[in-house]
Structure formats: structure tokens, C-alpha cells
A and B are shown apart, each in its own frame.
Chain A
Amino acid sequence: MAANPYETLGVDPSADQEKIKSAYRKLAKKFHPDLNPGNKKAESRFKDIASAYDLVGNADDRAKFDRGKVEAEAAKQYGSRTRGPFYSETQAGGGRYSNQFEGMDDDILSSLFEQMGRPKDGRFQRAPENKLFQMNVDFKDSILGGEQEIEFPGGKKFLVKIPAGVESGTKLRFKGKNESHMPGAFPGDIYVQLNVKPSSIFKKIGKDVEVELSVSFSDAILEAEVQVPTVDGAIIMKIPAKVTSNQKLRLKGKGVLDNVTKMRGDQITILKIKMPENVDDEFRKAVEDWTKRQTKESL
């Protein structure tokens, strides 16, 4: 190592120890042989850097060097001390530690070669081409799950399983289904993006489904049984007496199907009380009487 250690480390001779240490760390991270296995140039550069740091890496050694007591040429070459082989050298040709990945060839090498466009047997092939298709999904299918056929260009049909509770924009992957006609090409993947059509009746809130229900004035005051839509079809629901507008009634198990727990969320029915369109004299009189009674009671 004939070069001046300061030059090797890329620092000014007047730099403080912290700066020298920082410069060394930066270069060592870049050229450390174990972080560049098999790269002889990096190894040689690292040895120069380490030797330079040996000379000026601490204040005492640096003072000796600066006083001319240690010549750069006379400095021991890094690696000529007691240091054995670098770790990556012990793994070349199959080491105990790196061999732990043996048997995982399919996972590691296949993913590597797929990215390189080259199969495991070493023959070069064209990189796989993926295709994205759009599919509109009914709101009910997005809640409960379902199946829908999609036709790809070329006439090939495919049955797509729609997962329950799927969000709009979800992409389903069909690995290797994009068969290419190009010689030597890998089959690519087909992605189907699901676009959930909004419902004019239902709204998905997490695992629950919300629905607004119009209730007549009389039904709101008196107890009633009304028909209410659910994603499973209309059902009869009992409305208790004296409900208020925006009151929420819960229908258990009529919401989104959870694929993991296999349980369904609830339907939240929000009551919207509808005032009668025609108010006759009799009704008006009844309300006036009621108002008077309320006023008296509050006095």
C-alpha cells in the first residue's frame, strides 16, 4: 500500500478522528469483501482502506505515522496479520451456512430466474408478460362471494371466483395463465381487477351493510311489521312502537361474510320517517290537541 492513508480514505490530513472513522465506515461498507463476495477488486480496495485505517484510525497510531515513525509502505498489509479467510470465502464451494438454503432451490432460484427471464435449466427465454383485465362485480357478490365468467381476447373463458367481502380494485392473480405464442416465452400471469358496482340500496361499512328504510308516520308511532331489503333478499322486520328518524335497527348476520371466521356482519337499517303527504283537518286537529296537552303538562 504505497498511497497516503489520508488519500486512500479520501480525507484531509487535518481531519479529526471522527471524520476519519466516518470515511472508513463509508468505504468499508462499500468494499467489504463479504458484502461483495467473489469481487476481487472490492477485496483489494478494502484491504487498502483497512490498512490505511490501521495507520491513522486511532490518535496514537496516527501521531506515529504523522511523525514519520511508520512508513505507509512498511505498514502491515491487511490480512497478512492473524486474519483468516473472509467469511464469504469459507462459503465458496458450498459452506455449512449457505447450504442451509439447499432444497429451497425452487423458491430462491425460480424467483430469481423468473425475474431474469431465464428458467432453472439455464436456457434463456423471454421475460414473462402479464396482462390485466377489468371485471365488474355486482354489489351482492362482493358481499357474499360468487363466481363470474370472464372472456379473454382470443375467446378463452375463465371462471373467476369472487371472494366474499372483496373491496373494489382488488386484483386477483392467475399465475401462468397468459400463455404466449412467442417462441421461448414464459407464460405470464393474468390479473383480474374487480370493480364493485355501487348499489343504490346498500352501503358497505366494514363487515356491516347499511340500508336506509322509509317508514310511514303511523308505523313509526305504532308497532309495525315492514318489508326490508337485505343482500339475501327482502325479509319482514318488526319495528317497535315510537321509533325516531335515523334510529338504527340491527339485523344480525345479514352483512359481509368473513372468509376467515365464516361469520357474517350485520345489516344496519336506518329508519327514515316519512311525513304524510296529505294532512287533512282531522289529523291537523289531533296534532293541535296533542300539542296543547304537551304544553299544559310542561307548565
Chain B
Amino acid sequence: MTSDRYTLLEVSKLTGLDLSKIDAWIAMEWVSPQASQALDQEDIARLRLIHELQHDLGVNKEAIPLILHLLDQLCYIQEALRKMKGTSS
């Protein structure tokens, strides 16, 4: 994964998302950049996912953090299983 960092303004231009929306999602801790003005690819992909969940899939605001939490957990488990498979084979 690339370690490039982007400012909020750059992210807004890159994704087409309103700056206020990005700010709000960071304030709600749906996205947690390592530094306040420096977002990486993980943060940007997460912002896009939140937008798609809300805008394209019609998921309501209350369900977003729950989906993100479960998705993070699922990714973690998949990675743990992958590592386990690697060590047992």
C-alpha cells in the first residue's frame, strides 16, 4: 500500500466529496487519519466506502459505524486465517 499522504483539500478534489462531509466523518471517528491534515490511501478508500454505503446503497447513518466495525473485524479475521494457513502448510 502506498504511503502517500494527502491534505483534506486534495482528498476532497480526488474523491469529489465535500470538505465538510470529510470533516464530519473524521469528527465522528468513522475515519481516523494518523495526522489531522494527512490522509493516506486507507483513509481515502474508507471515505469512498462510507460515501458508497450512504449515497449508493442507501445505508442509514446509524448503521455506518456498525458496518465499518464488522468489516474491519472481517478483514482482520481473513488476514489472521491467511497467516495461519501460511504457517500450517
By the criterion CB–CB under 8 Å, are B42 and A91 in contact? Answer: yes
A101 within 8 A of B: yes
B46 touches A87 (CB 8 A): yes
B1, chain A: closest CB distance, angstroms: 6
CA distance A92 to B52 in the complex (A): 20
- CB closest residue in chain B, given A101: B76
Q: Which single member of A85, A89, A101, A109 contacts B72 (CB below 8 Å)?
A: A101
The reply to whether B49 and A86 contact each other, CB–CB distance below 8 Å, is yes
CB distance from B18 to the nearest CB of A (A): 16
A37 at the interface (CB under 8 A from B): yes
Secondary structure at chain A's binding surface: helix, strand, loop or mixed? helix
Tally A-B pairs: CB < 8 A: 89
- Interface flags for A85-118 (1: CB within 8 Å of B; 0: not) read 1111111111111111110010011001000000
- With A84-B41, A87-B49, A105-B80 as known contacts, state yes or no: A95 contacts B56, CB within 8 Å: no
A83 within 8 Å of B by Cβ?
A: yes
B72 touches A83 (CB 8 A): no
Binds B, one of A24-32, A161-169, A174-182, A249-257: A24-32
Beta-carbon nearest neighbor of A104 in chain B: B76
Is A38 part of the contact surface with B, judged by Cβ < 8 Å? Answer: yes
Most chain A Cβ neighbours within 10 Å, of B44, B56, B76: B76
Q: Closest A-chain residue to B68, C-beta based?
A: A97
Is there contact, CB below 8 Å, between B73 and A98?
yes
Number of interface residues of B (CB under 8 A): 31
Q: Report the Cα distance A91→B15, complex, angstroms.
A: 19
Give the contacts of B37-81 with A (CB-CB under 8 A): 41-42, 44-46, 48-49, 52, 56-58, 68, 71-80
6 new A-B contacts at CB < 8 Å, known A84-B45, A97-B32: A84-B44, A84-B48, A87-B71, A90-B1, A108-B77, A122-B85
Residues in A with CB closer than 8 Å to B79 are 91-94, 98
**Whole-angstrom CA separation of A160 from B87 in the bound complex:** 42
Contact of A100 with B74 in the complex, beta carbons under 8 Å: no
- A interface residue count range (under 10 / 10 to 19 / 20 to 34 / 35 or more): 35 or more
Across-interface contacts of A35 in B (CB, < 8 A): 71
Of B42, B46, B58, B84, the contact of A122 (CB 8 Å cutoff): B84
* CA distance in complex: A99, B1 (Å): 15
Cβ contacts A179-195/B at 8 Å (1 or 0 each):
00000000000000000
| A90-B42 contact given A98-B79, A102-B76, A108-B77, CB 8 Å threshold | yes
Q: Is A151 an interface residue (CB 8 A)?
A: no
B-chain residues with CB within 8 Å of residue A38 when the two chains form the complex: 78
* A28:B57 contact, CB within 8 angstroms: yes
Q: Flag whether B36 is at the interface (Cβ < 8 A).
A: no
Task: Tell me, yes or no, whether A227 is within 8 Å of chain B by CB.
Answer: no
The reply to whether the CB of B14 lies closer than 8 angstroms to some CB of chain A is: yes
Contact (A99, B84) CB under 8 Å given A84-B44, A87-B45: no
Q: Which of B45, B77, B80 contacts A90 (CB 8 A)?
A: B45
Query: Inside 8 A of B58's CB, which chain A residues have their CB?
Result: 25
Q: Is B88 close to A, CB under 8 A?
A: yes
Partner of A25, one of B1, B42, B56, B87: B56
Instruction: Report the separation of the CA atoms of residues A149 and B88 in the bound assembly, to the nearest whole angstrom.
Output: 44
A105 to B77, CA, bound (A): 9
